[in-house]
Each structure stands twice: as structure tokens, then as C-alpha cells.
Structure 1
Amino acid sequence: MKTFIQATEYWLPSPDRSSLVYGGGLYPPGSRLGEVSPDMCFQRGQGVPGRAWETAAPVVLHQFEGSYFLRTEAALADGLTCAIALPVFHGDYLAAVVVFFCGDGEDHAGAIEVWHNDPRQSHDLTLLDGHYGRTAEAFEYISRRTSFRAGFGLPGQAWQQGAPVFLPNLGRANSFLRTDSAQRVGINRGLALPCSTPGLSTHVLAFLSALGTPIAQRIEVWMRDDTGHVLQLHAGFCETAGELGPTTAAPPVASGHTLVGQAWERGIPQITHDLAQVPWPAAQTAGLHRAMAWPVIDDGWFVAVIALYF
């Protein structure tokens, strides 16, 4: 099953913080982008990672040709047409930039959205930008004309709670306010999380998954338990195993253990190409081999780890 996110990578500040250097990535087999990226670096404002660093906000680039994207030939050779960059800040300190790449197939449904609020101008979250599959024109039209108060809708809940919110079935979720439009294009699950952007403005990133092209093969949201000493599987969905949550037989994760615990301990994204080496039995049972995990920070505080499996 093809996923909506077809490649992902992350970039880290160089030791002197003058540029962003390659941290790691997951790409299609034989990827040209995967070949050229490890040797690259980006100055502030340069390329998609550098633009997210400069603006201190998520960036959506809808097409590579004729843009500031610096790896166009390689990306197009991989069938990639769009990039979304998510900066990870610890307060005012940039820790990493995560980049997600999508394609543009005829049956490519789903969405990645960036919602924004500037309290000096409005009380609402409005759509700053987003990438929608080719079959989601009506859903995009509705989304660009929708706004959310804190606590309302999927983005508004993540904004109010300052934590990831996962809805496994949007058709049964009274809190999802665009159900009819989503169902028409097969969008059935949603994950929204606050972005750790400095300043007064708020940004929320939303992943909306479709039946035919899910965001990833497996999504996990990990949060600290009541003791605060370990992470517990809070919510998620696996295309093989179904809905995930606290009742799922998933052992708690200590800081530094498994990919998820490493993202928590180090405060930066982590990637593996072989889950057998992590190890993580649940993902291996589902036939998954590669994963990325990154920390969710809100107002300078760690709140969760998101893990995507491919």
C-alpha cells in the first residue's frame, strides 16, 4: 500500500549553527534524493529546510520546478512533487527541521495542513497552507474557508491541549467539523499536533489519512505516564493491526530505549532503516522495517513523541 508521505528526512544545526546539515532520511528504494542529500547543507533561508529555519514556522512547497528547492531533479526522479518542512524548536533554540515529501498520483488522497493563529489579529485558527491529494479538491475548498476556536475541531483541540490529538475514525468523531467533505474523498483518520514555533503565533500541523493512501503504515503517539518516568503508547493506528492506544499490548518505553525513547532523550528526530535492530516487536509483526520518531515540544516543554512507520 502506497503511503501519502513517500519520503522523509531531518536536518540539524551544524556545530557552529551557521547551517543545517543532514541528519538522516527514509526514501524510496534506489532514491536519487537519498543519494544527493547526505552531502548537502543549507544556510538560513536556503532550500526548504533553510526556509523553515528562517521563518521559524512550518513551510509548504507545492511544486519544485521554478522554486527555491535545490534538489529538484533528484526529487522529480523519485516521483516526489511537494515538501512540508516542520521546524522543531526548544524554546528559541532550533533543534532540527523535519521534511516530509509527497507525490501527486491520480489516486493520491489525504492531506497535510498547517493551521495558524496570531492573537494580535484573531481568536481563530485559520488554514495557513496545506498539501492535498488530487482527489481532495472539495475538501481543500472547505478547509480554506474554515476556522477554529481553541477546543473546536481537530486543530483546535490540539491547540487547546498543547498536545497531539488523534482521531481514528473521523466519521464517528463529533469533534471533527469537516466530516462530510472528508468522507467524500476517503479521508478517515486525523492527527494534529502543536508546532514548537517561537513567538506569539501558534501553528498546528494536521495529518489527515485516507483509506487508499494512509499518511504512514503505522502512526504512534507516545506520552509520559503518570509517573513522568516512562512513555506510554497513547494513541495511533496500524494498517495491519488496527487502532492503537493505552490498552494495546505495548510495554512502556524508558528514556533512551527504542527509537521513541531516543527521540525523547535527545530531543531531536530519530530514524531507523531496520526495526529489527531497535527492536520493536509490534512493528516487526506488522511487517514494517523503517520508522521516524520526533519529539513534540510546546512552549519549550516536551509533551510527546510521534512515530511514523513505513
Structure 2
Amino acid sequence: MDTVIDARVKTFIQVTELWIPDGDRLVLANGNYGDLAAFETATRAISFGKGEGLPGKAWAEQRPVVLKGFDGSYFKRIEAAAEAGLTSAVALPVFDEDDLKAVLVVLCSDSDERIGAIEVWSELDGLMMLDDGYYGAAKHFEWVSQHTHFPRGQGLPGGVWSARTPMLFRELGSGYRFIRADSAGKAGLTTGLGVPVPVPHDRQFVLTLLSARGTPIARRFEIWDARPEKVGKETAAILVDGICERDGPLWTDDNDAPPRRVTANQGNIGKVLATGLPVILSGAPALTEGYSAMVALPVYQGGALAHVVAWYI
């Protein structure tokens, strides 16, 4: 096993939860709460109907939802969140056409030390516009993002929208492909993951996770391609892009080296292939490439699982 990564670094995301349908309710399937045990206890006592709380709102509205303040809102765990220092959250529904598979929720705290971005972009009048986002202390980058839009194929949101596939951007502060490079560099943002968010209606959404070295969203990112035209008839996925602080690039363009490939039930990515559900795993570095936690998220296209994106903390 490779060296275990030091988990004491402050991360941009503090809590990650997976809610799955159980009849007419959303129930907690799993979560990574770190040392926020009281908030975890409060969470395990509740469930959500359609339209209730943040997970239920994402279910009812069939779209990603950003909530940048809990006081006076529809958030159901306001007191427990305040005691835990949590101030903002994003809910991401996972749809296979009309079928809701799960809702992934991430929660963050507001401090002068945390830099990063979780953005939701949506198509409006032929452009990708910022629907909403949470940026921590990166206030200037937030302002720039609010005044930026992307044609199809331009930048990270426009590129994901055009290709209908997840994308990784590196060196955001100096990359010519990243339209907001100057402000990203000043904010200390380094790596960007863009993910299409398919929903039952025609509106197009893209999620972007922008990570900084000081308070990373993740220190390892992976994109797996599970489309039949890429992997054949077998339920499988091939690693097509990835980056990590420790190992550098996680894939190879060398034709003499076989690509990394997993099949259903093979490891954590294989579990996503087998169940069609996101995976959250924490407290088991031996099972998460030496990291303290990981999230693996399926992306559906045309009624089938097309990609899996994963990030490791």
C-alpha cells in the first residue's frame, strides 16, 4: 500500500451525505461526517419527503440546489448545523432519466481560511450562466463568476455542456482553457472538475468543483468512462483522466500500456457500476487508495450509466 495521506489538512467540504429513495421518503444511506458526531447523530434521526429540506427540494425541483445560509431557510437541521459550524450546502440529484437514484449533499463552513468553489451552471438562451455557487473566502472570484457566461464548448462549464462528459482542468491560474484564469490564480485555485448533471426536463446543468491547495475539495480526482462503445458489452469502466497530489497523472496515453479497467463489483468504482448508486467511503484508507475518504458519483446518459467521477480527500 502506498503512503497514507495526512488527513489533518482542512478541506473545503466538511460533510458529504448520500440520500436514497425509500418509498415516498429520502433516507440516509451513508455519509462522511469527520469529527462532527453530534451533527451525524441529528442527521440519522430524520428523513425527507419530496420538497422537504434540502435533499427533498432537489428531488422535487429536479435540479441541483445551492443553499448559502441556513437561518430562516427550509433547512431542517439548522440548530445542529450551527453547533457544528456548518453554514452552506449543495444538493445534487442523481437521475437516470425520470428515475431518481439518489441525492448527494455536501456541507461546508464559512471561514477566512477556506478557499474553493462549488458551482452550479445552467443553460439559458444558448449560454451557460451561473445558477449559484459557494466560494468560501474567494469573494473576488465569486464576483467574477457571477459576471461570466460561457458559450457551448468554452471554458469548463461550456466544455462539459458541449461534450456531455466530465472534464478535468489543471493549473487553473495559468491554463489558457480556463476563462477565469487570472482571478483563479489570485484565489489560489488549482484544479477543476466539471460534471454534467442530467435531469428529467430539458434544462442543462453542469456542476464544477474548483479546488485550492490550502483547503482542497479533494487531493485526487478520477474520471471513468463506462459507455458501451468504450468498454464493450461487459459492465465495466476505463480510467480516462485523473490527477493526484501524490501520484501525479493517473492515466497514460502510451498505447503499449493497458488502460486501468474495472468491472462490476470490482473495488469502489465497480460497486457504483453494479448498484448504479453513488458511493461514500470514509475511515478506511486501505480501501480508498490511502486517503481518508472518497466519493464516487455516477453520471447517466440516455438511460444508462455513462461515467463515474470520483474524488478522494
- Residue 32 of structure 2 is aligned to residue 26 of structure 1: yes
Superposition deviation, residue 30 in structure 1: 4.3
Superposition deviation, residue 204 in structure 1: 0.3
- For residues 263 and 47 of structure 2, what CA distance do their matches in structure 1 show? 33
- Residue 151 of structure 2 is aligned to residue 149 of structure 1: yes
C-alpha RMSD of matched pairs (Å): 1.9
- Partner in structure 2 of residue 294 of structure 1: 297
- Partner amino acid, structure 2, of 1:307: A
- Out of 114, 133, 136, the position equivalent to 2:136 is 133
Counting matched residue pairs gives 298
Superposition deviation, residue 153 in structure 1: 0.6
- Partner in structure 2 of residue 8 of structure 1: 16
Which secondary structure state, in structure 2, belongs to the residue aligned with residue 176 of structure 1? coil
Distance 1:249 1:218, change over 3 A: farther
- For residues 167 and 72 of structure 1, what CA distance do their matches in structure 2 show? 35
Pairwise mapping of residues 57-76 of structure 1 onto structure 2 (< 5 A)? 57-76=63-82
Q: After superposition, give the CA deviation of every residue in 1:150-176 in whole Å (9 maximum; x if it has no partner).
A: 111100110111110001222342221
Check whether the contact 1:233–1:246 (CA below 8 A) recurs between aligned residues: no
- Out of 78, 81, 103, the position equivalent to 2:87 is 81
- Partner amino acid, structure 1, of 2:262: V
- Residue 43 of structure 2 is aligned to residue 37 of structure 1: yes
- Out of 189, 192, 203, the position equivalent to 1:190 is 192
Q: After superposition, give the CA deviation of every residue in 1:181-211 in whole Å (9 maximum; x if it has no partner).
A: 1101101110101002111100000001112
- Which shows bigger deviation, 198-207 or 290-299? 290-299
- Which shows bigger deviation, 168-177 or 124-133? 168-177
Q: % of aligned pairs identical?
A: 39
- Partner amino acid, structure 2, of 1:100: V
- Residue 274 of structure 2 is aligned to residue 265 of structure 1: yes
Q: Which runs of 5+ in 2 are unaligned?
A: 1-8
- What TM-score, normalized to structure 1? 0.90
Superposition deviation, residue 234 in structure 1: 2.0
Check whether the contact 1:24–1:38 (CA below 8 A) recurs between aligned residues: no
- For residues 171 and 290 of structure 1, what CA distance do their matches in structure 2 show? 27
- Which shows bigger deviation, 237-246 or 49-58? 237-246
- Partner amino acid, structure 1, of 2:193: L
Q: After superposition, give the CA deviation of every residue in 1:96-139 in whole Å (9 maximum; x if it has no partner).
A: 00001111121111100000014xxx0101000000111x1111
Distance 1:108 1:250, change over 3 A: farther
- Residue 312 of structure 2 is aligned to residue 309 of structure 1: yes
- For residues 137 and 199 of structure 1, what CA distance do their matches in structure 2 show? 32
Which secondary structure state, in structure 2, belongs to the residue aligned with residue 242 of structure 1? coil
- What TM-score, normalized to structure 2? 0.89
- Partner amino acid, structure 2, of 1:143: S
Distance 1:175 1:276, change over 3 A: closer
- Partner in structure 2 of residue 243 of structure 1: 249
- For residues 217 and 300 of structure 1, what CA distance do their matches in structure 2 show? 31
Which secondary structure state, in structure 1, belongs to the residue aligned with residue 240 of structure 2? strand
- Residue 226 of structure 2 is aligned to residue 224 of structure 1: yes
- For residues 210 and 183 of structure 2, what CA distance do their matches in structure 1 show? 12
- Which shows bigger deviation, 72-81 or 106-115? 72-81
